[in-house]
Amino acid sequence: MAFEFRHFLDLGDAGPDAIAAMIADAIDRKEARIDLPKGRADADQPLAGRVLALVFEKNSTRTRVSFDIAMRQLGGTVLILEAGSSQLGRGETIADTARVLSRMVDAIMLRTDDHAKIEEMARHASVPVINGLTDRSHPCQIVADLLTVIEHGKSLPGLELAWFGDGNNVLHSVLEAAGLMKFNVRVATPAGFEPSPEFVDMARAGGATVTLTNSANEAATGADVLVTDTWISMGQADADEKRRAMEPFQVNEDLMALAKPDALFLHCLPAHVGEEVSESVFESDQSVVFDEAENRIHAQKSVLLWCFDRLG
């Protein structure tokens, strides 16, 4: 290898110090380019000449656009490979795809279903591999979420974050972050839709207090941040039974009224307004969902720099 690199498959690959450094660097870079057009490179262009391949086996808007703009701002470029129009979609192995892409590009971001596929990609790639979402986790999203919470004046240690609805991939990365960054998570799900115990144990082992409840009101009471996500993630069966079970977990004005008066509402998007969140909350002053979406760019820049050992 001609350069030092790291994979970013989950937040634990980076650890608390690197995550704190990512957030600090994202804040600095965001501030430094406030008046620049979005496609203009940062003054130092730390990834000049580097090419990132964005490989998608699932749909995306934010991840796709934010990685593209992030690379441009760092001085690099991207190319996009959709499974349906590449040989991946015809059964070429992940291992061979990893080895071929490693000869042609400097880093690979993969959005896929089975987490084992991204582990396989990382095993066979000789360039950094970044998790752009799997069925198990969504670490890039959570770097942006932590950045958003901090930007809005909250500090992570001791923060009370409440999650409502499905115990899914995004929640898993929230839980992993909680153990690393020492904040607490109240998880309100219907019975049978809890997060994987592996992530709950991870958070608790790191010192976070994790409360699992079937009461949305219990989770919301006194919370600093309220978070939800789609009830039906990509690749999941859209069952009426699941939707009915999720209905009591909608984040609405009644739930927000139980939280701290300055509580924030986060959602990774895309949202299904009227389902997991009411329109009144989604459009309220407490909702920071579009700051959160923009922060995908700034967070991704830090993730990329960390992968290339160029952070800070």
Q: Which residues are catalytic?
A: 111, 138, 141, 229, 268, 296
Distances (CA, A) of 227 to 6, 17, 25: 30, 24, 24
Closer to ligand CP by CB, 54 or 98: give it.
Answer: 54
Nearest to 232 by CA among 294, 177, 282, 165: 165
**Token pair for residue 67?**
């990685």
Out of 21, 41, 80, 269, the only residue in the binding site for ligand CP (CB under 6 A) is: 269
Q: How far is the CB of 87 from ligand NVA (least distance, A)?
A: 25
Q: How far is the CB of 252 from ligand NVA (least distance, A)?
A: 20
The 10 Å CB-count burial string (b at 16+, else e) for 142-157 is bbbbbbbbbbeebebe
Closer to ligand NVA by CB, 25 or 68: give it.
Answer: 68
What does 168 interact with, of ligand NVA, ligand CP, none (CB < 5 to 8 A by kind)? ligand NVA
Q: How far is the CB of 244 from ligand NVA (least distance, A)?
A: 19
**Helix (H/G/I), strand (E/B), else coil: 28:** helix
**Helix (H/G/I), strand (E/B), else coil: 152:** coil
**Helix (H/G/I), strand (E/B), else coil: 80:** strand
Cα–Cα distance, 265 to 153 (Å, whole number) = 14
Establish whether the linkage from the previous residue to 261 is cis, with ω within 30° of 0.
Answer: no
Hey, which residues between 57 and 86 contact ligand CP (CB under 6 A)?
60-63
Cα–Cα distance, 306 to 128 (Å, whole number) = 10
Chain positions contacting ligand NVA, by CB under 6 A = 133, 168-170, 229-230, 233-234, 268
What does 120 interact with, of ligand NVA, ligand CP, none (CB < 5 to 8 A by kind)? none
What does 61 interact with, of ligand CP, ligand NVA, none (CB < 5 to 8 A by kind)? ligand CP
Q: How far is the CB of 191 from ligand CP (least distance, A)?
A: 27
Out of 54, 143, 227, 268, the only residue in the binding site for ligand CP (CB under 6 A) is: 268
Cα–Cα distance, 105 to 101 (Å, whole number) = 6
Q: Which residues bind ligand CP (CB under 6 A)?
A: 60-63, 133, 141, 268-269
